[in-house]
Structures are given as structure tokens and as C-alpha cells.
């Protein structure tokens, strides 16, 4: 039994790997002080894991607190995945491979395992990332922009006169040009996310002159995926699947 954790800026996603299969998954908002609750309430009923394998993008503060809790609860230490130059059929485009986000690295590993040929990998999380993977597993680089939810938050927090309106979903999520500020912020962020994905895919398709598959993951993927011009395969647990592959190798 191996516990897998995808620790993002806003959520902690987790899965239980047993005999090579993800048999249980879940997610919890990430906030100060909720780790102890997560260990006791979410994982209180699962058997003691033999290992805990973690993708952590928020730094050492989480690691220190989590290690203390693991030691107290189960007497084990977490294993933190680090991006590398080459592994599991993927070769990183980064000159400093360890600086590639470990969530992107794990997602690339899972995508190569499940899909053959060249592919776009889009992650619609706190940040929206788009990576390109060649047929031979060479990572060809990627881009990062603020995610859909972050675009809205930045406008609401840093622009005078519109804060406090974004308290629910828009009245008409299909409106192209909404008639109130709340819906305009929502629609603007959504259109920006869709537009950058569509434009990059169009530009790269013309440049490369070949058909490329698309895979999409992340918290906002279910909202964005149906609105894209290109058909993407939606894989909600892609990072966890990548961690499962890494954990299964024993390294």
C-alpha cells in the first residue's frame, strides 16, 4: 500500500496505490492547519502505507510539517519526487531539469505511458501550463500563464471597484459579453484560458506540420476542455498516475 500526494498551491490530491492500481483517490483544499485533519479524517481508515510518495510544488514549509505528522502517525518518512534530466522515457527540455515543476514532470511521465505519439499536455490549475512532448519522449518546452481562477482573483484583489462581486458562478455562463462586472471577470478569464490554448496549438500545428494529440488535466480542465477547438483527452488524475509509475519503479 503506497500513499501518493499531489500537493498544489490550492489543493492536495491523494491516491492509494495497491498492487499497481489506484484504488482510492480524493482531494482537499490546501490551507494552514488542515494537514492534521487530513491525516486523521481522510486517511484514518486506510491501512498504514509502506511508503508515501509526494509531488510538492509549495516548498519546504509543507514538507517539514508533513514529515512531523507522518512520523507521529505512522513512523515513516515521505519520499519527495524531483524532476530529472531523463527518466521513464521522458527527456527534459530544461537546462536545469530540477527547475521543471515536479507536477509537470509527473504528468509528462503519465501522459507518455498512456498516450503514444507527439502530444500537448495542458494543466489547468492555479497556473495554466502547456507542454509539448515529441514522439520520442523529448520534452520540447512549455509555457506558464495565470490559471483561470487566478486571473479572477488578481482582478478582484487589485482592481478598484469590482471587488466583492465575484461571489458565485455567472448568471449566464454562455454570454459572450456579459452585462455585469462579476460575469465579465468570469467570462474574461475563461476566454483568456481558451484563447491561449487554441492559439498555441494552432501555431505549433502549422510549424510542426503534423497531427498532435492533446491531454488536459487540472482543477479547471472539466470547464475548459469542452470549449477548446481541438479535442483533448481529459485525465483528472494525471499527476497521481505519474507518481504511481515513479513509485512502482521503487525509486
> 205: which 3 cell numbers?
500545428
For residue 167, pLDDT beyond 50: no
Say which residue the cell 503514444 belongs to.
116
- Say how far apart CA 186 and CA 193 lie, in whole Å: 11
Shortest CA distance to 41 belongs to which of 78, 80, 7, 12? 12
DSSP codes, 60-122:
HHHHHHHHHHHHHHTS--EEE----SEETTEE---SSGGGS-HHHHHHHHHHHHH--SSEEEE
Shortest CA distance to 218 belongs to which of 150, 152, 135? 150
pTM: 0.90
- Say how far apart CA 106 and CA 16 lie, in whole Å: 16
Q: Between the CA of residue 31 and those of 4, 8, 11, 35, what are the distances in Å?
A: 19, 11, 8, 8
Q: How far apart are the first and last CA of the chain?
A: 15
Q: Please say if 103 is a catalytic residue.
A: yes
Residues of the chain with CATH 3.30.420.40: 2-80, 114-148+182-237
Of the residues 19, 45, 103, 220, only one is catalytic, namely 103
DSSP codes, 86-99:
EETTEE---SSGGG
Chain segment 102-158, per-residue pLDDT in tens: 999 999 999 999 998 999 999 999 999 999 999 999 999 999 999 999 999 898 888
Tell me the β-bridge partners of 22. 17
Superfamily of domain 2-80: ATPase, nucleotide binding domain (3.30.420.40)
> 28: which 3 cell numbers?
482537499
- Say how far apart CA 197 and CA 224 lie, in whole Å: 10
Beta-strand relationship, 213-217 and 233-234: parallel
Question: Averaging pLDDT over each range in 20-29, 38-47, 156-165, 239-248, which range is the top one?
Answer: 239-248
For residue 181, pLDDT beyond 60: yes
Query: Minimum mean pLDDT among 13-27, 89-103, 112-126: which range?
Result: 13-27
pLDDT at 114: 93
pLDDT at 166: 47
Say which residue the cell 474574461 belongs to.
188
- Average pLDDT over all residues of the chain: 89
- Say how far apart CA 110 and CA 239 lie, in whole Å: 7
Fold of 114-148+182-237: Nucleotidyltransferase; domain 5 (3.30.420)
Shortest CA distance to 73 belongs to which of 32, 37, 29? 37
Amino acid at each position: 500500500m503506497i500513499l501518493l500526494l499531489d500537493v498544489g498551491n490550492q489543493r492536495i490530491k491523494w491516491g492509494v496505490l495497491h498492487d499497481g492500481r489506484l484504488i482510492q483517490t480524493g482531494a482537499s483544499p490546501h490551507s494552514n492547519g488542515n494537514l492534521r485533519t487530513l491525516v486523521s479524517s481522510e486517511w484514518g481508515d486506510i491501512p498504514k502505507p509502506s511508503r508515501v510518495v509526494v509531488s510538492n510544488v509549495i516548498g519546504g514549509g509543507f514538507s517539514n510539517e508533513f514529515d512531523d505528522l507522518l512520523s507521529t502517525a505512522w513512523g515513516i518518512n515521505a519520499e519527495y519526487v524531483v524532476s530529472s534530466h531523463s527518466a521513464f522515457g521522458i527527456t527534459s527540455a530544461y537546462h536545469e531539469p530540477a527547475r521543471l515543476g515536479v507536477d509537470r514532470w509527473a504528468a509528462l511521465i503519465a501522459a507518455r505511458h498512456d498516450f503514444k505519439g507527439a502530444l500537448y499536455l495542458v494543466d489547468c490549475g492555479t497556473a495554466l501550463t502547456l507542454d509539448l512532448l515529441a514522439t520520442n519522449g523529448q520534452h520540447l518546452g512549455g509555457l506558464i500563464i495565470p490559471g483561470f481562477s487566478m486571473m479572477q482573483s488578481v482582478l478582484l484583489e487589485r482592481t478598484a471597484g469590482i471587488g466583492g462581486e465575484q461571489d458565485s458562478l455567472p448568471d449566464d455562463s454562455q454570454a459572450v459579453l456579459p452585462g455585469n462586472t462579476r460575469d465579465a471577470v468570469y467570462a474574461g478569464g475563461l476566454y483568456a484560458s481558451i484563447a491561449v490554448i487554441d492559439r498555441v496549438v494552432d501555431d505549433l500545428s502549422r510549424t510542426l506540420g503534423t497531427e498532435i494529440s492533446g491531454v488536459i488535466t487540472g482543477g479547471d480542465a472539466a470547464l475548459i476542455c469542452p470549449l477548446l477547438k481541438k479535442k483533448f483527452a481529459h485525465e483528472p488524475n494525471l499527476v497521481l498516475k505519474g507518481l504511481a509509475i515513479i513509485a512502482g519503479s521503487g525509486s
